[in-house]
Structure 1
Amino acid sequence: MATVPSPDGLPVVDPTRERVERFLEAADVAGEDRLGPFPLSERSATMETLAANAVMAGCEASSFPVVLAALEASLEPEFNLYGTLATTEPHWPMVVVNGPIVEELDINGGANAFGQGSKANATIGRALTFVYMNVAGATPGPTDKATHGGPHKFGLCVAENEAESPWEPLGVERGFEEDDSTVTVLTTEAPHNINDHVADSAAGVLTTAANSMAVLGANTTYLSERAEPCLALSPEHAATIARDGYSKDDVKRFVYDHARVPHEELRDQGMYDTRDGSRPRHVPASELDDDAGVPICRSPEAPVVFVAGGAGRHSLFLSSFGDSRSVTCRIR
């Protein structure tokens, strides 16, 4: 029976001294070292405190370096952790892991990677949520203002399916070496299914994806000066796209060019407001005629694309908060 309160309402592991010290040793950090400050509380936390939260979340000691790297990434100013934790939107940090540590820790990037069944996936994501609640003070209601929230706020961590990806891994794309283990932290909504069992060309699959991503109610349509719409392609969809010679940059360009909402549909909807030229923020008001298609991101470089999942002609769209940039860090 746990002897400490549970931040998320589920049972926790008792953070005994022996367990916490094992985590500190695994990450090669001193208990009195600190990380922070964390919004919303503006408090820093000792490594001992962070380790205790990871223990409570059910992590293995070997996963603690991943947790620390993800926390460090989320504290970078461009990530805007304050906005992510406090918003009324249903957004929350998501972790994507690349590199040799994926196999070492058995982090799932294949079938049902975004679902249940993997202890590493579940507990790494849950450890971040515990820190954000216990240290940052993201308490549902008083400080975490999410209107609905979502199941991903219990914690969301996946690996990229590098073995079945036709392109370079996300970590390598971000400037790291293939033998580096990395985490990329993004602020996303819960995943939305993109179902295409018919298209047999890159343009066909990506047209379905683009139409699924260009929706009136998503933040990306209005706040896209920093938005990074995330497309998690299944291995089958990725293979179809790559077979036609498309690079990952080509995929991003296609999303930018085709995932657009007609301006005449956008007006007076969602968060539309051109009185001060602020929304849509990424398109000059002078270009917003009725025939214009408003892109869901600021540039062809903005989308985040990686391969995940198992068999099946499904992919996922994870809508961006809109006021956050993803950050990739090496796992020490």
Structure 2
Amino acid sequence: MACVVVGTDEFLPLARAQSAARGLPELPVVTVPHPIGGIAPGVAAAKAEPVAASVLRALTSAPSAASAAGAATGGMRGAPSDLDEFQGWLMEQGWGDGLPAIPPTAERVKRMLAGTRRAPEEIVAVLVPRLGRATIEAVAANAVMAGALPEHMPVILAAVEALADASFNLQAVQTTTHPCSPLLIVNGPIARRLGINAAGNALGQGARANAVIGRALRLTLQNIGGARPGKEDRATHGHPGKYSYCIAENEAASPWEPLSVERGFSPADSTVTVCGSEGPHNINDHGTATPEGLVATVAGTAATTGSNNIYLGGEPLIALGPEHAATVASTGWKKDDFRRAVWDAAAVPRGRFTSENLARFEAIYPEGFADRTSAAVLRISRDWRDIMVIVTGGAGKHSAFIPTFGATRSVTRKITGG
């Protein structure tokens, strides 16, 4: 059966890589000049008109050889032994993230493998878009490059497994133009044992465990999953968390049960939760002394017309600073009380959306946009229970609102001894 792929020219590298990964490197691809969304119908028609003839030619002609550059799977044959030369070589191969990396020599990878009892050849997950086999050894090689330690391996491996869960929708997170990246939230004893920062500057620099665990996951997604920036990874801007995005919940400062316990795990269990998240949006409130007042501030930060969560759903995250969490809990409020109140208050009036976006959103989420009256509002998630709430950070009257890609669900995995 004849077949052809049609897409915009900006997504040609992704189309080539996906075809090759599925054993069809010669599959013809016909491109349309980017963009095709958000343009006038006449402009779209002018772009589409020449495509029909190209599609017909592709369907009736012999396929031509096409190639897609491969991604690293852990092999470093030909890598320079000199540390400085290695940095340039790594970037030339498309395997680096722009920061200095440690060469994953056989000796270093062997030391990293000491952090797990699992066999080096075991496949942890198959990662899209390249359909790369994430073996224990390949993940260990990327962990070495990131500067991780053997004791970090159980967290990294659990995170890789979580990302491969179908509900996370890794294909979309890896290749979207949206600025999302997997955020790791670690709970339980292992966070304290490894020194994963949950206190001041938790989302910033300064903690080795946060930095290298998050970076190891990013390199794994790039080099094994094959989502290379500007090629298969089509992010318009991205965000700094695409280098590394890993925190722990500040369980000691929280007035409520931690995220892991909410999800059915024991307080003695160590877990990692992965979310397809944007960067954090600061919530500054130094004056409010009541839960209701803080809800108004949080809702005002969260309710925006440009959020994916408005029309794609998902689980936006509120990372409360300990002082804000104490304010919310001061009158006996539970997490669910706070979630429900924020959901009720974080309403975007329908009239704030452009007519073009309303037409698009109605096609994607018809039940959510069915009310066309002037009083209609849209919520920041499809159900109040979808709002995630954790406590993290240090002193100060700040919290963070972290939207997600939308078409993704967070996944929590228990971290085993390796």
TM-score (norm 2): 0.76
Given the alignment of the two structures, is residue 260 of structure 1 paired with residue 347 of structure 2, yes or no?
yes
C-alpha distance 117-274 of structure 1, shift in aligned 2 (>3 A): closer
Matched AA of 2:347: R
1:96-175 equivalences in 2 (<5 Å): 96-175=185-264
Ranges of 4+ aligned residues in structure 1 off by more than 3 Å? 279-282
One of 176, 182, 190 as aligned partner of 2:279: 190
Q: How far did residue 282 of structure 1 move? A: 5.5
Q: How far did residue 9 of structure 1 move? A: 1.1
Distance 2:107 2:335 in 1: 46
Partners of 2:343 and 2:384 within 8 A in 1: yes
Unaligned regions of 5+ residues in structure 1, if any?
none
One of 346, 349, 363 as aligned partner of 1:278: 363
Aligned partner of residue 85 in structure 1, secondary structure: helix
Distance 1:237 1:123 in 2: 29
2:388 aligned partner = 304
2:164 aligned partner = 75
Partners of 1:93 and 1:186 within 8 A in 2: yes
Distance 2:253 2:289 in 1: 18
C-alpha distance 240-151 of structure 1, shift in aligned 2 (>3 A): same
Distance 1:282 1:242 in 2: 34
CA distances 1:193-234 after superposition (whole Å, capped 9, x unpaired): 00000110001011100110001111111212xx11100000
One of 404, 408, 412 as aligned partner of 1:320: 404
- Between the two structures, name the one with larger relative contact order (CA 8 Å, sep ≥ 6): 1
Q: How far did residue 181 of structure 1 move? A: 0.2
CA distances 1:148-201 after superposition (whole Å, capped 9, x unpaired): 111110010000000000000011111100000000000110101000001100
Q: CA RMSD in A?
A: 1.4
Distance 1:282 1:17 in 2: 55
Given the alignment of the two structures, is residue 47 of structure 1 paired with residue 140 of structure 2, yes or no?
no
Distance 2:101 2:359 in 1: 45
2:266 aligned partner = 177
Partners of 1:272 and 1:280 within 8 A in 2: no
1:32 aligned partner = 121
Partners of 2:125 and 2:160 within 8 A in 1: no
Distance 2:244 2:323 in 1: 26
Matched AA of 2:346: A
Aligned partner of residue 167 in structure 1, secondary structure: coil
Q: How far did residue 103 of structure 1 move? A: 1.0
1:23 aligned partner = 112
1:92 aligned partner = 181
Q: Mark the structure with the bigger radius of gyration.
A: 2
Matched AA of 1:331: I
One of 277, 289, 293 as aligned partner of 2:377: 293
Distance 2:372 2:338 in 1: 25
Aligned partner of residue 168 in structure 1, secondary structure: coil
C-alpha distance 42-129 of structure 1, shift in aligned 2 (>3 A): same
Given the alignment of the two structures, is residue 62 of structure 1 paired with residue 151 of structure 2, yes or no?
yes
Given the alignment of the two structures, is residue 234 of structure 1 paired with residue 314 of structure 2, yes or no?
no
Distance 2:202 2:195 in 1: 11
2:337 aligned partner = 250
Percent identity over paired residues: 46
Partners of 1:272 and 1:279 within 8 A in 2: no
Unaligned regions of 5+ residues in structure 2, if any?
1-82
Q: How far did residue 281 of structure 1 move? A: 5.0
Q: How far did residue 14 of structure 1 move? A: 1.6
1:218 aligned partner = 307
Aligned partner of residue 283 in structure 2, secondary structure: strand
Aligned partner of residue 97 in structure 1, secondary structure: strand
Distance 1:42 1:218 in 2: 30
Aligned partner of residue 241 in structure 2, secondary structure: helix
Stretch deviating more after TM superposition (39-48 or 75-84): 39-48
Q: How far did residue 25 of structure 1 move? A: 2.2
Distance 1:252 1:48 in 2: 41
Q: How far did residue 237 of structure 1 move? A: 0.1
Distance 2:411 2:129 in 1: 19
